[in-house]
Structure 1
Amino acid sequence: MSFQDNKFPIILGTVTAVAAGGLIFWGMKSGGKYATAKEEFDSAQAQIGKMLRANIPPTQDNAREKEKAVTDYEASVADLQKAFDPLRQPKLENIEPSEFQNALLASRKDLIAKFEASGTEMPETFFLGLGKFSDTLPAKKDTGMLNFEMKAFANLLTKLAEAAPDKFKNAYWPGLPNPPQEGDAVVEHPIELTFSGTEASLRKFLSSLDDSKEYFYIVRTMRVKNERASAPNASDARFEKPEEAPKPADPFATGGFVFPDEDPAPAPAEEDGGAEGETPAEEETPAPAPEPEPAGPTDSGEILKQVLGSEKLDVFLRIDVVQFLEPKTP
């Protein structure tokens, strides 16, 4: 049988064989991809199952620890609020503007008397930093906060007067702070003070701020400058002159000194004309005077005390008076 006679069956068989081979190859290749995808799916599913079975946070122990931490924090905040209760001012109530102005003038008069009593030089114009209200009435809505500031500044300046600096130069008030917002716990009222005095007066003033029982003060900025541009030297020391010791008596002045083999010289007659034949009373030989102590300090540290610490200081302070608001109930 020739090819020509069986051309169609041969061609059909060949095509069928090729197609079958292609299908087999494609099936084998697709089966490999399926197996790989199935393996990856099974692995991911196993990981998910493992995570679902694991005891991951938040666990009951974690929840109890978190609850305890929050409770402890709330207790510490409550204790802190209670500690500041003595410094917490009542709710600020607005007053009449004329009443505030009269109180400002009365407080000014009282403070001037205190500074004069301590010997502190005062500026020509002094109104606790609130001088703009000496001849102008404030808005009534601001008088509550202004009244708080006036009392706090008066208390602060009273402590400065008690420290007795040499000169009180200025009190600057930058203005009212912003009204408190929701969630605020405090409002800070700033004031700036400038004065000059000794190191002891500055130390006493700062210590008094820490000991205050009426208001809570925070020193935000402090600048201290020595009035002297050069270092001190020995010529700055001032010592008290020691008292001069009395000179020792001259043993030959009275004629009472004699050598062992000589007779004592007769005592001279008294000038006031004593009775004839009377023997004058024996004069006592004065005791030798003690040797004078060496003048001046013997310890070099004493010299430093005389030289250092006597300079005047120029002081600038920015202080915040803290107003504690009523605590919020959580």
Structure 2
Amino acid sequence: MKPNVWLSVFGVVAAVFIGGAAFFMISAKSAHDEAVGKWDENLSKIDRLGKRVPFPSKEAEGALEASLNEYKGAVDNLYQALKEFQKPLDNTVSDTGFQQLVKTKVDAFKEMARTRDPQFEINAGDGDDGAFYLGFDAYQAAIPAPDTVPILVYELNAIEHLCQTLVKSDAISLEMLERDLIPGEAGATAEKQESSVVHRYPVRIRFNASHDSFQNFVNTIANDQEYFYVIRVMQMENSNPEGVAKFSSGPAGSRMPRFRRDATGEIATQEELEKQGYPDVSGVELQQKMAAEGWELVTQDAQWVMGRETVDAFMIIDIVRFVDPSEAGANDAGDGDDGSKGGSKGRPQRPAPKG
């Protein structure tokens, strides 16, 4: 019995050894076949790449360059057409000179408004002292960063032109004028303009004017030949929100004549008319009796009412400037990998020199 046990154990061990060897042999063959397959695939790719024509070819490169030149030409032509309706940047003003320029512009506008319409009121004090600085009150005690000066000069001129247009439109008063800080100014929240092709300089303005003056102002800035103004937000409040007063009708549905006192603007009531014999007397006789009491017949009611209504208007106006393609390219090139964005957010402004 012992030889049989030994043979049985030997057979089991041999079977396990043979099975393990077969498993490892099959696994190794699979890995070998996979490696050979990848090798053949790489050889096939190399062979295909070796037979292909290099890209871009000279023809394709020439076509691409021609397309780019055509696009650049179209952009330049568009800018040349648009720049006829906007002032160029003034690069001759220094950072110290800008402070004096603001003062000169403010004084010139005040004089222009006083000469054009002595009744025009400027209530838009934007400075800490309550004075009016065309939105540039910060530069009464500080000097701007040098690289922002050309843009600030452009915006200053555009705001002055906007305010002059308001005065020439026979507005009653300027109640508020504020401007958003541009990239590069101290305290500005944006590091650069959203677009490198079109720059926006928002201005908030509130003024009081008649209906005709308001319409004239809107139409004028919409068709301005020196600057692009875009009204982005507009709110209006009428001085007479309840509308024109309603008058009762006379007897038998006839419309009651209207009389007013010029001194007070008071409208005669039906009781006042009845005291003078209305509706039994003729129209001529009634008019004579009312005139004797200081009343005048109103013949253009709608014109009289509308002529005395005013609107309090609030607007957010974007001063839009189309950027020269060369300037836009320089700005894009300035946006390097070191984190600079072509702006100077938070750059401290130098204090104005004393004396």
Q: TM-score range with shorter-chain normalisation? A: 0.5 to 0.7
Structure 2 residue corresponding to 1:194, chosen from 191, 194, 206: 206
Kindly tell me the number of residue pairs found equivalent between the two proteins.
257
Structure 2: distance between partners of 1:200 and 1:96: 36
Pick closer, same or farther for the CA change 1:188–1:26 going to 2, 3 Å: closer
Counterpart position of 2:270: none
Equivalent residue, structure 2, for 1:273? none
Consecutive unaligned residues of structure 1, counting only runs of 5 or more, are 246-302
2:27 maps to: 33
Aligned to 1:173: 178
Q: 1:229 to 1:78 in 2, by over 3 A?
A: same
Is the CA contact (8 Å cut-off) linking 2:102 and 2:156 kept in structure 1? no
2: CA distance, partners of 1:78 / 1:228 = 51
Q: Matched residue of 2:205: which SS? A: strand
Over residues 211-263 of structure 1, what are the superposed CA-to-partner deviations in whole Å (9 max), with x where a residue is unaligned?
Answer: 22222223343222233333556549x9999xx99xxxxxxxxxxxxxxxxxx
Largest Rg, 1 or 2: 1
Name the stretch that deviates more: 31-40 or 147-156: 31-40
* CA-based RMSD: 5.1
Structure 1 residue 170: Cα displacement? 1.9
Aligned residue in 2 for 1:21: 15
Cα gap change, 1:226 to 1:47, in 2 (>3 Å): farther
Give the equivalent residue in structure 2 for 1:91.
91
Structure 2, unmatched stretches of 5+, are 126-130, 186-190, 249-254, 259-281, 284-300, 331-355
Counterpart in 2 of 1:219? 231
Deviation of 1:43 (Å) = 5.4
| Pair 1:186–1:92, CA change in 2 (3 A) | farther
What residue in structure 1 maps to residue 115 of structure 2?
113
> Aligned partners of 1:31 and 1:139: how far apart in 2?
84
Q: CA deviation at 1:156?
A: 0.9
More helix by proportion, 1 or 2?
2
Range that drifts further, 198-207 or 155-164:
198-207
Contact 2:183 2:192 in 1 (8 A): no
Taking the TM superposition and a 5 Å limit, the aligned residue runs for 1:38-117 are 38-41=32-35, 53=48, 60=56, 73-86=71-84, 87=86, 88-94=88-94, 95=97, 97=99, 101-116=103-118
Of the three residues 160, 166, 186, the one matched with 2:166 is: 160
| TM-score, length-scaled by structure 1 | 0.55
Q: What amino acid maps onto 1:229 in structure 2? A: P
Tell me the equivalent position of 2:274. none
Secondary structure of the structure 2 residue equivalent to 1:91: coil
Deviation at 1:132, TM superposition (A): 4.8
Displacement of 1:41 after TM fit? 4.4
Change (3 A) 1:27 1:223: same
Q: C-alpha distance in 2, partners of 1:29/1:325?
A: 74
The CA deviation at 1:14 is 6.1
State the shift of 1:80 in Å: 3.9
Displacement of 1:144 in angstroms is 6.4
SS of aligned partner of 1:30:
helix
Seq. identity, %:
17
Instruction: After TM superposition, give the deviation of residue 107 of structure 1 in Å.
Output: 2.9
Inter-CA distance 100–304: structure 2 relative to 1 (3 Å threshold)? closer
